[in-house]
Amino acid sequence: MTFEYAPAPESRSIVDIKASYGLFINGEFVDGRGTSFKTISPSTEEVLSEIAEADEADVDLAVKAARRAHARVWGRMPGRERAKYLYRIARIIQERGRELAVLESIDNGKPIKESRDVDVPVAAAHFFYYAGWADKLEYAGYGDRSLGVAAQVIPWNFPLLMLAWKIAPALAAGNTVVLKPAETTPLTALLFAEICQQADLPPGVVNIITGAGATGQALVSHTDVDKVAFTGSTEVGKAIARAVAGTDKKVTLELGGKAANIVFDDAPIDQAVEGIVDGIFFNQGHVCCAGSRLLVQESVADDVLERLKRRMSTLRMGDPLDKNTDIGAINSGEQLKRIRELSEVGDAEGAERWEVACDLPTKGFWFPPTLFTGVTQAHRIAREEVFGPVLSVLTFRTPAEAVEKANNTPYGLSAGVWTDKGSLILKMASQLRAGVVWANTFNKFDPTSPFGGYKESGYGREGGRHGLEGYLRTPHESAR
């Protein structure tokens, strides 16, 4: 069944979405030389704005602006002065938090309670955290060794938060940046450009160029960038690694994942069920570290599944701007197609599909919270990243079997362990090949913690002190 929901006009009215946006280069919005594209609301399919598509010449202008700003201002500025700008940006993000959250939910489709309580506050926290580092680099043994210009390309699942993960450490370490947001979610990055103006950030320190994959490709291949920081799919990450091979560009890649969320029979089951739901349905499952494979110990599998289905039936899906919404819209028609196709593969390969019976809105892109049981390790839904609200359930008998199944993936970004035994948590954490292992919780993020993957989930770390290292020249690397 389908229905039409009434939008929440009072929230919508607090954001001012312009009919069109140019590129943010050298501290001001300028017309792009290339064409333009539309960004739409995935929950209503309404066209929100016309966005400039940067071509190679625009990319070159942005890189030149960043280079000048690094050479003349930012790269020479004492760390304590840079810190003032970062603190200012952090405070403005807080002050304009409601506006950013509403805009993010409109452009991305995520529930307002997530953008309000997670994306925006954690983005501000990154700027506060790295502001604190800016004047301590020398003390920490890093000296004054910024790289220069950072080319940063981010995906659509956490547009503002991924921007903060990229820009805050880069600026704290004395680099200037050119950032490209994803084609489907440019609006909060463009509002962030306004925030840079409001903070009086020197022109050229942050440049935001919009566009699709070709713009990203032109940016990362530009000969005058010193650093490439990419978050996105493993496929594009590999293409970028090939494109920069043989250059002296420093590269960090944060790519896909297929995390195991492992529930032992002594776990507090109700808490674990909350963690399973959060692990896979947070942000509609558009999460690189989503707990998309539930590994549950055989002796409690029936109980866990019964309680999980009951809990899933209470999830509310619909208007992202409604504060009671748990599950928002799928970010794009293209992503919805991929989720549908992989789910159909799950049916065809013999897994058993169960989904929440709910009415779907008539407009927009929607997929109900879904789980598959009877999944084997050979099934594609157990191996490939669905990047949607789809959980594959597998069982195990012993901890060794759980480790073997959890590690049986080309990815290695995150994992979850649910048990009452501290010793088992430590043992599992040492054996799981995942960059992050959560114990009796899931999807917890903090600016002080490094985050990143093993294997095809990429290399380099973001967050914490480790996150700075990707933006600094090590003593043996020559100055440019």
Q: Which residues bind ligand TAP (CB under 6 A)?
A: 153-157, 180, 182-183, 212-213, 216-217, 220, 231-233, 236, 239-240, 254-257, 288, 385, 387, 413, 458
Question: Shortest distance, CB of residue 240 to ligand TAP, whole angstroms?
Answer: 6
**Catalytic residue, candidates 254, 384, 385, 456:** 254
Nearer to ligand TAP among residue 79 and residue 470 (C-beta): 470
Question: Shortest distance, CB of residue 463 to ligand TAP, whole angstroms?
Answer: 10
Closest CA to 370 of 395, 349, 352, 394: 352
406-417 burial, b at 16+ Cβ within 10 Å, e below that, comes to bbebebbbbbbb
Nearer to ligand TAP among residue 155 and residue 369 (C-beta): 155
Is residue 254 among the annotated active site residues? Answer: yes
Rounded Cα distance between 119 and 335, Å, is 21
Nearer to ligand TAP among residue 275 and residue 435 (C-beta): 435
Order of strands, sheet of 20-21, starting from the edge strand that comes earlier in the sequence:
20-21, 47-52, 36-40
Two structure tokens written together for 98: 């409601």
Question: Shortest distance, CB of residue 244 to ligand TAP, whole angstroms?
Answer: 10
Tell me the three-class secondary structure of the chain, residue by residue.
CEECCCCCHHHHCCCCCCCEECEEECCEEECCCCCEEEEECCCCCCEEEEEECCCHHHHHHHHHHHHHHHHHHHCCCCHHHHHHHHHHHHHHHHHCHHHHHHHHHHHHCCCHHHHHHHHHHHHHHHHHHHHHHHCCCCCCCCCCCECCEEEEECCCCCHHHHHHHHHHHHHHCCCEEEEECCCCCCHHHHHHHHHHHHCCCCCCCEEECCCCHHHHHHHHHCCCCCEEEEECCHHHHHHHHHHHCCCCCEEEEECCCCCEEEECCCCCHHHHHHHHHHHHHHHHHCCCCCCCEEEEEHHHHHHHHHHHHHHHCCCCECCCCCCCCCECCCCCHHHHHHHHHHHHHHHHCCCEEEECCCCEECCCCCCCCEEEECCCCCCHHHHCCCCCCEEEEEEECCHHHHHHHHHCCCCCCEEEEECCCHHHHHHHHHHCCCCEEEECCCCCCCCCCCECCCHHHEECCECHHHHHHCCECCCCCCCC
Question: Shortest distance, CB of residue 406 to ligand TAP, whole angstroms?
Answer: 17
Nearer to ligand TAP among residue 257 and residue 399 (C-beta): 257
Question: Shortest distance, CB of residue 467 to ligand TAP, whole angstroms?
Answer: 11
Rounded Cα distance between 233 and 10, Å, is 36
Nearer to ligand TAP among residue 121 and residue 450 (C-beta): 450
Nearer to ligand TAP among residue 79 and residue 211 (C-beta): 211
Nearer to ligand TAP among residue 119 and residue 319 (C-beta): 119
Question: Shortest distance, CB of residue 388 to ligand TAP, whole angstroms?
Answer: 11
Closest CA to 393 of 293, 282, 287, 286: 293
Question: Shortest distance, CB of residue 378 to ligand TAP, whole angstroms?
Answer: 21
Closest-by-Cβ residue to ligand TAP is 216
Question: Shortest distance, CB of residue 68 to ligand TAP, whole angstroms?
Answer: 24
Nearer to ligand TAP among residue 278 and residue 385 (C-beta): 385
Nearer to ligand TAP among residue 301 and residue 436 (C-beta): 436
Question: Shortest distance, CB of residue 4 to ligand TAP, whole angstroms?
Answer: 29
Catalytic residues: 254
